[in-house]
Structure 1
């Protein structure tokens, strides 16, 4: 596009940009609540649209602090290399039997020298062979925009290109751990706020919080296929 040489030309240049959608972006804030309207932390929201994907890092950390995974839920893009530092003064043994990524890091302290590559989309449940109560989740997605809700159930994307986006929602306590379709949003030049509700199942101290590991990959792929119809 030619560079404007006058005020009139500048006005026409900006108008052309706005009409074409180029350069237009806005903030999007999502509030995630449960079926009772209470804020839902550790929920994943992803966006799929026609806009060019953002630049994101393909490196992440899943720490272990106070005998817990930190963060409890980590969302990453497919192809991300994740390190598993151990910030405790005791040894941990990280493992997963989930279909998208099966691996084991034997008893260690500090940070293993080699990160683990998460090269398939899906839900990966992490455990520790030494501490049975330690559970963590890695949500691996092909969608270009993704985030995890904070303690208030809030997620914010500061600059989304104008356009329409399909939304997917997930939380470790949704039925069968299946990603849920969240409808569509339209982003223009004005900031957008929207509330989303997820029905979750209560945690039981007498039952495991995850289904059979072999079901994770199939459940994710099934949910993606149904959403795409």
Structure 2
């Protein structure tokens, strides 16, 4: 299934783009809304910056646990190359898997923490499940940038963005396993602003 492109509207809050050098980052607020104008919480917003490394530095780790027969958190955002640990805090064993093209793996019935983490070396969305507990589900969104965030209850994410020509990627759970949608983003030098993103599916 193909999704329509995002509609982006940029409203600059700063008055001057000339006051600062291009090396300085400025605070931006990304507002994610649906077609009716309602905020979209728990949306993933990532901005790929020119010159920034796509992959995480060696040794970067994250955690996707299991507690009370649920994944915790149910949405995890990591940079490409991150090693993710899957500790089981329950008294029952879990069998964690993903059949998503972004990362296919299985951690067969286990307790405690597997000796080796799973390295997510490709950007995209991986949906997780448990072969023993069908109601368990979570997503790991893998992005080629260290600049990312998750929208709050008001559908907002705050990011510090330098001037330049960047790319914005957006994903929300309603898009399922679809890859994050990408749009160009131009940030003027030293200008803070508000980026309004309309998510249509």
| Category of TM-score, reference length = shorter chain | 0.7 to 0.9
Q: Deviations over 1:16-44 (max 9, x none)?
A: x945x23x111111121222222222211
In structure 1, the partner of 2:11 is: none
Q: What's 1:133 paired with?
A: 135
State the distance in 2 between where 1:54 and 1:188 align. 23
Change (3 A) 1:145 1:188: same
| Aligned equivalent of 1:36 | 36
Q: CA deviation at 1:103?
A: 1.0
Give SS of 2:100's match. coil
Q: Does 1:150 align with 2:152?
A: yes
What is the alpha-carbon distance in structure 2 between the residues aligned to residue 66 and residue 187 of structure 1? 47
Give the structure 2 partner of residue 193 of structure 1: 194
CA pair 144-93 structure 1, distance change in 2 beyond 3 A? same
User: What secondary structure sits across from 2:174 in the alignment?
Assistant: coil
Distance 1:56 1:118, change over 3 A: closer
TM-score, structure 1 as length reference: 0.69
- In structure 2, relative to structure 1, the CA distance for the partners of 1:34 and 1:70 (3 Å cut) is farther
- Report runs of 4+ in structure 1 exceeding 3 Å deviation: 51-57
Gaps of 5+ in 2: 1-18
**Aligned-residue offset at 1:55:** 9.8
> Structure 1: which 5+ runs fail to align?
1-16, 201-229
Structure with the bigger percentage of helix: 1
Using the TM superposition, give the Cα deviation of residue 145 of structure 1 relative to its aligned residue in structure 2, in angstroms.
2.0
More strand by percentage: 2
What does residue 174 of structure 1 align with? Answer: 175
- C-alpha RMSD over aligned residues: 2.5
**Higher RCO, 1 vs 2 (CA within 8 Å, ≥6 residues apart):** 2
1: CA distance between counterparts of 2:176 and 2:99? 20
Q: Distance in 1 between matches of 2:113 and 2:123?
A: 25
Q: Which residue of 2 aligns with 1:227?
A: none
- 1:42 touches 1:72 (CA, 8 Å); kept in 2? no
Bigger Rg over Cα = 1
1:174-220 deviation line (CA, Å, top 9, x unaligned): 276242234423143232222212124xxxxxxxxxxxxxxxxxxxx
Partner Cα separation in structure 2 for residue 98 and residue 106 of structure 1: 17
Q: Check the 8 A contact 1:182/1:196 in 2, yes or no.
A: no
**Partner secondary structure for residue 95 of structure 1:** strand
Contact 1:174 / 1:198 at 8 angstroms: preserved in 2?
Answer: no
